[in-house]
Amino acid sequence: MKKRIPSETKNVILTGVGGQGNVMASRVLAGMLVDAGYIVTIGETFGMSQRGGSVMSHLRISPELVRSPQIPRGGADVIIALEPLEALRVLTVYGNPHVHVLANSRPVYPIGVITGELSYPSDEAITAAFDRLSAASWMIDATSAGLQLGNPVLSN
């Protein structure tokens, strides 16, 4: 079967919080794409280099080498999130009317929420924002699926 390489760069952002396996997931996804014949450029940003801080991987999939690994603001084609609020945060910066969002529905509560200083939005509020800000979105309980397979890391 002939491989279909995109004629233009496709921009995928994989996001989550430190400790979820975001960097490993981005490496696995990039490896699969390279094995399929794509050229993949990866750029990563770490909001806080500790468990619980924001982590974001930019994957630029292209028929030729892309000079910058960073996806421009408003330039995502797909956002894959290991945590729902991180999906929303990234969507507000990198989203556009054509972006597609796939998010794990299981939250990782920030310390401010745990201590009661902050509130965490409801699933309904997050889903409504996804619907308003994207072309299509899906929330799945990937964590439970990973647990059923024997390891929550498999949710990635």
CB atoms within 10 A of CB 107: 17
d(CA 117, CA 15): 24
User: How far are the Cα atoms of 122, 145, 151 from residue 19, in angstroms, in the given order?
Assistant: 23, 18, 14
pLDDT at 1 (0 to 100): 43
pLDDT at 47 (0 to 100): 57
pLDDT at 50 (0 to 100): 58
DSSP secondary structure of 41-103? EEEEEESSSSTTSEEEEEEEEESS--S-SSPPTT--SEEEESSHHHHHHHHHHH--TT-EEEE
User: How far are the Cα atoms of 8, 22, 61, 120, 142 from residue 107, in angstroms, in the given order?
Assistant: 34, 14, 28, 9, 11
Chunk the chain into consecutive blocks of 10 residues (it has 156) and report each block's average pLDDT, rounded to whole numbers. Answer: 65 90 88 89 70 84 81 96 96 97 94 92 96 96 82 67
pTM: 0.86
- Tens of pLDDT, residue by residue over 53-68, are 788 999 999 877 777 8
Delineate the domains of the chain, giving CATH numbers in brackets. Answer: 10-155 (3.40.920.10)
pLDDT at 5 (0 to 100): 57
The pairing of beta strand 78-81 with beta strand 136-140: unpaired
